[in-house]
Structure 1
């Protein structure tokens, strides 16, 4: 199989490496050409292309172009560039974190041009190269079957870690909910370990406890594995600013819960806690202090 990957960031580059290591020919394009050329020097099954047109030129019908780009305009722009150079029966795969509403719209636009579209929600982060990726795939069966060799190569094993979950949009929708759950799990682990740390008289070793929880506990998980590893290296975390960014999918999950009328308090509150960590001004807290002083004479802490 031969496939073009557009976007060779951390995820895209490692996916290209994993595919190439499993005898799938990869044509790589990145807006910084040297990234693609470096990969080509590293892997004999990767060929570098200096433009989208040249990447597509290396393919034979039915052509498969896999996008690994940031959500929004970068994906939209490149999808249209690619579509202009494809023919009926060819296929575009969006493997990044696009909003499922955009995905459905793009699928309809491509269907009018008889070009296939598959949305592949992809989880695995920087560990995917070694451990494999979890792939949640949406699209028509015939197009999913077309890329099945690539899905089996990217997944942890050919028979697990990937699934055709529904029509176009279902893959990104499933990945969005996955990320919302991820927010809640991370928040719970962080809060629980912070509570353990706060009881000074016990002197609880967080690295020890998190390692114990990894074996036989109902909270064992890959997130806990990564947390235990981090705490084994440094429990104070003094060099880390208490700021947690959000990638967008947590927001989309919270919005979806509101729109569908489905209660999702844990995921929504986890998102709000990330917003709180990003608040450099602290204006709401200052205003609360003023209110307490006004009605109860409570002391205001000055800078």
Structure 2
């Protein structure tokens, strides 16, 4: 599906004006910078975050007003209202949506821009539709660099008119008005696309990490990992933003040894593997990348201890006492 042309920017239908004011709910690392980018594009933003520190960090930002509650932020908007959520997946988002159901009216719009399972987004779209409230799910990529470089936005909406409203904000948030955003399909399609995006991200990160681990493994060659990362950034088929970030990290002496070998998983890798199983579509690289993250979290420890005990049982092989295991940095 091609990008949606934004032709109805305001409630009055004046296509020459910019997007209507919007409430940004959730002003953390992503939501806060998205609020800044919208405000700096001249869009009036009503902001709320339950954490006072997150609100304080945005104090003084032009075109951005901060509120002490979700209800106050919504009340400050003209009708029809537009609310963009940037909240963690799960109970926090569910609670906010339940509160919004009681605050909003037919014709209002809710955009869920946080990470969410697309199945939840489909359910939420149906729930909102029953109350006459428009709903769009939007996957957002760009991390902490989005304020400066723009965000990649992939959104789902059942109605073309709803997509047009979202597109007005997407143009301001994206790297450029004509690229970096897409109406991917019906409700759920945005978060589904972002889920697969993050699964690919897991695999790419894992491959880069394993490759540099192999390079480091040949200490006799005295390889300069930082120089190799910088080399590969120019003309190589593996050049990428992830490689750029790797090169930046390796410029710091001792960078690898300064962090614990523990990699959290945000949940989207799990959802991607669940979808692969649901479809019966093989995705071994993504699945193994997820398993490696579980391993880094110590979830392989019990299995590895049993392996050692089995080897001792059938072959008399020696085992290492847990107290003798070298602590990880």
TM-score normalised to structure 1 length: 0.97
Work out which of the residue numbers 199, 215, 229 in structure 2 matches 1:180: 199
Work out whether 1:265 is the aligned partner of 2:284: yes
Work out which of the residue numbers 227, 238, 252 in structure 2 matches 1:219: 238
Deviations 1:195-253 (A, max 9, x none): 01101121110000000110111111100000100001134522211000000000000
Q: SS state of the match for residue 23, structure 2?
A: strand
Work out which of the residue numbers 81, 86, 93 in structure 1 matches 2:111: 93
Work out whether 1:79 is the aligned partner of 2:97: yes
Deviation at 1:298, TM superposition (A): 2.0
Work out which of the residue numbers 155, 163, 177 in structure 2 matches 1:137: 155
Tell me the equivalent position of 1:25. Answer: 44
Structure 2 counterparts to residues 40-79 of structure 1, below 5 A: 40-41=59-60, 43-79=61-97
Q: SS state of the match for residue 40, structure 1?
A: coil
Work out whether 1:246 is the aligned partner of 2:265: yes
Deviation at 1:149, TM superposition (A): 2.1
Q: SS state of the match for residue 220, structure 1?
A: coil
Tell me the equivalent position of 1:231. Answer: 250
Q: SS state of the match for residue 42, structure 2?
A: coil
Q: SS state of the match for residue 87, structure 2?
A: coil
With 291-300 and 156-165 compared, the bigger mean Cα shift is at 291-300
Change (3 A) 1:199 1:176: same
Deviations 1:15-49 (A, max 9, x none): 001111111111000102453244132x1210011
Work out which of the residue numbers 222, 236, 239 in structure 2 matches 1:203: 222
Native 8 Å contact 2:276 2:282 kept in 1: yes
TM-score normalised to structure 2 length: 0.89
Deviation at 1:281, TM superposition (A): 7.7
Change (3 A) 1:62 1:275: same
Work out whether 1:14 is the aligned partner of 2:33: yes
Q: SS state of the match for residue 38, structure 2?
A: helix
CA distance in 2, matches of 1:130, 1:183: 24
CA distance in 2, matches of 1:256, 1:281: 23
Tell me the equivalent position of 2:140. Answer: 122
Q: SS state of the match for residue 92, structure 1?
A: strand
CA distance in 2, matches of 1:265, 1:151: 33
Deviations 1:37-86 (A, max 9, x none): 44132x12100111111101111112000000010110011011112111
Deviation at 1:136, TM superposition (A): 0.5
With 31-40 and 160-169 compared, the bigger mean Cα shift is at 31-40
Runs of 4+ with deviation above 4 angstroms? none
Change (3 A) 1:116 1:205: same
Q: SS state of the match for residue 41, structure 2?
A: coil
Q: SS state of the match for residue 16, structure 1?
A: helix
CA distance in 2, matches of 1:242, 1:185: 18
Aligned residues: 302
Native 8 Å contact 1:207 1:235 kept in 2: no
CA distance in 1, matches of 2:280, 2:317: 39
Work out whether 1:109 is the aligned partner of 2:127: yes
With 26-35 and 65-74 compared, the bigger mean Cα shift is at 26-35
Answer 1 or 2: higher relative contact order, Cα 8 Å, separation at least 6.
Answer: 2
Tell me the equivalent position of 1:289. Answer: 308
Q: SS state of the match for residue 233, structure 1?
A: coil
